[in-house]
Homo-oligomer: A and B are copies of this chain.
Amino acid sequence: MDIEIVLNKNIDDSYKIYLGDLDPLRFETKVAIVTNKTIAPIHLAALRSKISAPEISEIIIDDGEEYKNLQTIEKILDRLCDLRLDRRSVLIAFGGGVIGDMTGFCAAIYQRGISFVQIPTTLLAMVDASVGGKTGVNNSYGKNLIGAFYQPLSVHIDPAWLKTLPKREFLSGIAEIIKMAATLDKGFFEWLEKVDLNDDKTLKEAIVRSIRLKARIVMQDEKESGARAALNYGHTFAHAIEKESGYGVILHGESVAMGMVMANRLALSLGLIKDEEALRIKQAIKKFGLNPYYKTPNPELFYESFFLDKKTKNNNITFVLPRNIGDYIFVSDAPKKLVLEAIEKGGE
């Protein structure tokens, strides 16, 4: 470990994010590692060699967004009961965003709350999902409609896990990095336009900058009443894409890339950004190999699904749109016609 970021909302409720080689972790209580069938055969032995505890169990679930639901939560909770984990026990989330969200949620509701530690293995989880305490699952109505705000004991980010990450998963993380840069930090965005994230040192810098950005926002607004919603740039569209195409078919970050381009089209119609700025964001998305195009079979249904999104209040959709590059604005009164147009264009 060589970098340490303290997320300190208040004295009672702070935790540390460690970045670098994973240091050994020691626990005085029972520990259960929650991971998936993809990660377990490749990395679980390596993780276990770093952990010491009186009792270490493994809970291995199916891999994929399509398993991020209450049924899987119930299975995990049953296992925690089987293992007789008590209120002092600790869960370790070892995997991507899905594992982190579900493990965190189980920790939040098992015996009314036990501790958990995040060890993200995907780029998306490192830069986004593991910071900020959002936990939860999807249901048939939409993404993350069930969950809790629940902070981990600590987060340990070791980019070494990324060596075996499939290309699509890697790009999915890059989409979230672009998202944060485009709406929060122009200098970071311009740096991203130039660099090669396949270089280890550059990637590590991108991770650190992303986490610092996210930490800054989360500390201002833990429960997403204001500023934190800025992190949802592209996400209203992305959630509809994921739901429509079936969870797991298009990865979360892939749909965020598509969603940002749809959001930009709306921002253009509303005069919030210039053509060339929208183009730069789209080019950054393409540069890293992400696909900015998505064609919905049913724009009206796509639009309808917005009304179930958590960002919708009293039947009013609030979009997070870029205002130039490096800034954002909330728009709650976008005319349906313009929104539908952005959906139909699908990145064109």
List A residues at the B interface (Cβ < 8 Å).
29-30, 70, 73-74, 77-78, 81-82, 84, 86-88, 105, 108-113, 134-136, 139-142, 144-149, 223-224, 307-308, 310, 312-315
**A303, chain B: closest CB distance, angstroms:** 14
Residue of B nearest to A144 (CB): B112
Q: What is the CA–CA distance of A30 and B110 in the complex, to the nearest angstrom?
A: 30
Chain B contacts for A113, CB-based, 8 A:
148-149, 223
Q: A81-B308, A84-B308, A110-B146 are in contact. List 15 more A-B contacts (CB 8 A).
A: A70-B74, A77-B145, A77-B146, A78-B139, A81-B141, A82-B141, A86-B312, A86-B313, A88-B313, A109-B147, A111-B310, A112-B136, A112-B144, A113-B148, A148-B148
How many subunits of this chain does the assembly comprise?
Answer: 2
Q: What is the CA–CA distance of A82 and B139 in the complex, to the nearest angstrom?
A: 12
Chain B contacts for A78, CB-based, 8 A:
139-141
**A184, chain B: closest CB distance, angstroms:** 22
Q: Are B314 and A112 in contact (CB under 8 A)?
A: no
**A106, chain B: closest CB distance, angstroms:** 9
**A226, chain B: closest CB distance, angstroms:** 13
Q: Which secondary structure dominates chain A's binding surface? A: mixed
Instruction: Among B112, B134, B139, B312, point to the contact of A149 (Cβ < 8 A).
Output: B112
Q: Are B147 and A314 in contact (CB under 8 A)?
A: no
Chain B contacts for A87, CB-based, 8 A:
310, 313
Chain B contacts for A77, CB-based, 8 A:
70, 139, 145-146
Q: Are B314 and A139 in contact (CB under 8 A)?
A: no
Q: Are A314 and B88 in contact (CB under 8 A)?
A: yes
**A186, chain B: closest CB distance, angstroms:** 30
Residue of B nearest to A312 (CB): B86
Residue of B nearest to A133 (CB): B112
Instruction: Among B74, B139, B310, point to the contact of A112 (Cβ < 8 A).
Output: B310
**A109, chain B: closest CB distance, angstroms:** 5
Q: What is the CA–CA distance of A330 and B108 in the complex, to the nearest angstrom?
A: 26
Q: Are B74 and A109 in contact (CB under 8 A)?
A: no
Q: What is the CA–CA distance of A223 and B13 in the complex, to the nearest angstrom?
A: 14
Chain B contacts for A145, CB-based, 8 A:
77, 81, 110-111
A-B contact pairs, 17 of them (CB 8 A): A70-B73, A70-B77, A74-B139, A77-B139, A77-B146, A78-B139, A84-B312, A86-B315, A109-B136, A109-B146, A110-B146, A111-B147, A112-B135, A112-B136, A112-B147, A113-B148, A113-B223
**A239, chain B: closest CB distance, angstroms:** 13
Chain B contacts for A136, CB-based, 8 A:
109, 112
Q: What is the CA–CA distance of A113 and B105 in the complex, to the nearest angstrom?
A: 13
Chain B contacts for A140, CB-based, 8 A:
78
Q: What is the CA–CA distance of A87 and B105 in the complex, to the nearest angstrom?
A: 18
Chain B contacts for A313, CB-based, 8 A:
86-88
Residue of B nearest to A146 (CB): B109
